[in-house]
Amino acid sequence: VNMQTEDHVPYVKDDQQKSCGKMQVLVGVTGSVAALKLPLLVSQLRLLPGVEVKVVTTEHAKHFYNPEEVSVEIYSDKDEWELWKKRSDPVLHIELRRWADLFVIAPLDANTLGKIASGICDNLLTCVVRAWDTSRPLLFCPAMNTAMWQHPITAQQISRLKEFGYVEIPCIAKKLVCGDEGKGAMAEVSTIVSVVKQHLQEPVKSS
Ligand SMILES: Cc1cc2nc3c(=O)[nH]c(=O)nc-3n(C[C@H](O)[C@H](O)[C@H](O)COP(=O)(O)O)c2cc1C
């Protein structure tokens, strides 16, 4: 990756860039079937005025969407390690946390939920979370099978994330892709987009 080219946005985001009214939204995607909706989510977010989008993906999430249907840059673990060769090179997860005004993780699967709740950062996405400036909004959209959802650890981990100041976009009940019916499905894309919009309109707190 070369983040220095025109549309790769510079490493350091300064206040000047902020004042031009552009809002930079980072979408995190993890290995839930709801990752199928990534292309739709990205295209809907890009319809918001002044919004620029980038994606950070886990390896398992890649199984569910076609990158050709996603019209923005998608970063994954390989990029993180390829970008850094020597001391002066940028560290991708730090560049991304600087770049983003808002981080929305949609879907957030059970595995990554557990990792975030306990501070584990073993891939690009969880490193961005671990390095996140908590004065900026971090929204998360859980998505998992009903049985996973009902496990008592889910509620504990979700409350932990809320204690960190992250915002839950709650899952909904519906017939899941696996055939089970009940709570655990990711919120509708339209809901996610409207919550993102709401948080972008709030004044950005300085870090
Ligand atoms: C077809 C399929 C669908 C899956 N859907 C979900 C899901 O909706 N929610 C979830 O929490 N895990 C789901 N998983 C399990 C995760 O992919 C698995 O826990 C994986 O390790 C997650 O890795 P990641 O968090 O790094 O993306 C699914 C797995 C498969 C094979």
Using one digit for the tens of pLDDT, what is the confidence trace for 138-158? 999 999 999 999 999 999 999
Copy the structure tokens of residue 26.
Answer: 């980072």
User: Does residue 10 belong to any structural domain of this protein?
Assistant: no
Q: What is the pLDDT of residue 205?
A: 53
Record the pTM: 0.90
Domain that holds residue 147: 24-201
Ligand 1 atom 9: residue of nearest CA: 144
E-strand ranges in the chain read 23-29, 51-57, 74-75, 102-108, 138-142, 167-168, 172-175, 181-185
Domain count, the chain: 1
Position 186 scores a pLDDT of 97
Q: How far apart are CA 195 and CA 189, in angstroms?
A: 10
Would you say residue 9 lies in a domain? no
pLDDT at 1: 47
* Pair 30, 60: CB distance under 8 Å: yes
What CATH number does the domain containing 103 carry? 3.40.50.1950
User: Quick check: is 169 in a domain?
Assistant: yes
Which of 63, 111, 180 to mutate to test ligand 1, by most ligand atoms within 8 A of the CB atom? 111
pLDDT averaged per 10 residues, the chain (length 207):
44 43 94 98 97 98 98 96 92 97 98 98 98 97 96 98 98 82 93 97 62
- Residue appearing with tokens 């005025």: 49
Question: What is the DSSP-derived secondary structure letter of residue 54?
Answer: E
Tell me which residue of 75, 65, 67 sits closest to 1, measured CA to CA: 75
pLDDT of residue 201: 86
Q: Which residues line ligand 1 (CB under 6 A)?
A: 30-34, 58, 60-61, 109-112, 143-144, 148
Which pLDDT does position 204 carry in this prediction? 56
Decide if 161 is inside a domain: yes
Ligand 1 atom at minimal distance to the Cα of residue 61: 27
Residue 153 lies in a domain: yes
146-152: long-range contacts (C-beta < 8 A, 24 or more apart)? 146/176, 146/180, 146/181, 146/182, 146/183, 146/184, 147/180, 148/110, 148/184, 149/182, 149/183, 149/184, 150/182, 150/183
CB 32 within 8 A of CB 68: no
Q: Is 185 within a domain?
A: yes
